Amino acid sequence: MSNPQGQRLSHAELLELKRWNTPTIYNGWEQITTHDPAADGFNLEETRDFMPQMGPMVGYAVTVAFEPSNPDHVKGNPNAWSEYRRYVAGEPGPKIVVVQDLDKPRVVGSFWGEVNSNVHAALGCVGTITDGAIRDVDEMTNAGFKALARCFCVGHAHCVPVRWGCEVEVFGRTVQPGQLIHADKHGFLAVPREDEAGLLEAARFMDSNECRTVIAAARSAAGKTQEEVLAELDAAGRAFRTAARQRFGKRGES
């Protein structure tokens, strides 16, 4: 059973969410949210998963913005890295570091590489979503640190945290610190806080609903006439929508 609203999911519940891909989590989320499932929650720009072999990642957002083209930030706060790391360390995990690159659409330098991925892994972070670049991808992979990013780059430029623990925007989606995120090679879903408690149960139900109805009908088509297949698919679709409506008051996918 999911935790009450306002309480973070348990580690076991997060691991169960990690068993499914992000589209499956979305299928559950759209049944319980009051937000627009055609416009809210997910990335609106294309992402690239640089470690798809790691599968999905699930965690709570820690947020930071940086501007590697601007040397003034390095001079402005010599203690920025230490202060930022203390913020990250103080947040409960597992954590996903959401990094807004203020130089976008330019790519000047990377927040990520071998050193920073290992440092953040030591602070309880499982990966990052950044609308900038990464480098040292093999070393990041070796650290077990997953990255969704825009591209590669060679250098780090004037890389220093500018602000952290704040609202950021990446890939067209605003993310709040502490927000639950599910991400994989398809993109990411930043779950509204009020939807977190019911997410696991909804994803579990909708995945099972698909398997019992529309997927079962499609996989049993061998040896049947086209009319029989079409009739069974229509019936399965009705059963799928009825089950979703009875459980959530919504019809599920069309």
Determine, yes or no, domain membership for 59.
Answer: yes
Domain region containing 208: 200-248
pLDDT (0 to 100) of residue 3: 42
Determine, yes or no, domain membership for 17.
Answer: no
Determine, yes or no, domain membership for 11.
Answer: no
pLDDT (0 to 100) of residue 7: 75
* Pair (204, 105) in one structural domain: no
Q: What is the pTM of this model?
A: 0.93
* Domains of the chain: total: 2
Query: What phi, psi does 153 have (nearest 5°)?
Result: -150, 170
* Pair (177, 215) in one structural domain: no
Domain boundary among 191, 208, 232: 191
Determine, yes or no, domain membership for 76.
Answer: yes
Determine, yes or no, domain membership for 147.
Answer: yes
* Pair (135, 209) in one structural domain: no
Domain boundary among 191, 216, 238: 191
* Pair (61, 169) in one structural domain: yes
Is residue 51 within 8 Å of residue 141, measured between CB atoms? yes
In order along its 254 residues, the chain shows pLDDT tens digits of 334 445 789 999 999 999 999 999 999 999 999 999 999 999 999 999 999 999 999 999 999 999 999 999 999 999 999 999 999 999 999 999 999 999 999 999 999 999 999 999 999 999 999 999 999 999 999 999 999 999 999 999 999 999 999 999 999 999 999 999 999 999 999 999 999 999 999 999 999 999 999 999 999 999 999 999 999 999 999 999 999 999 998 766 64
Is residue 137 within 8 Å of residue 154, measured between CB atoms? no
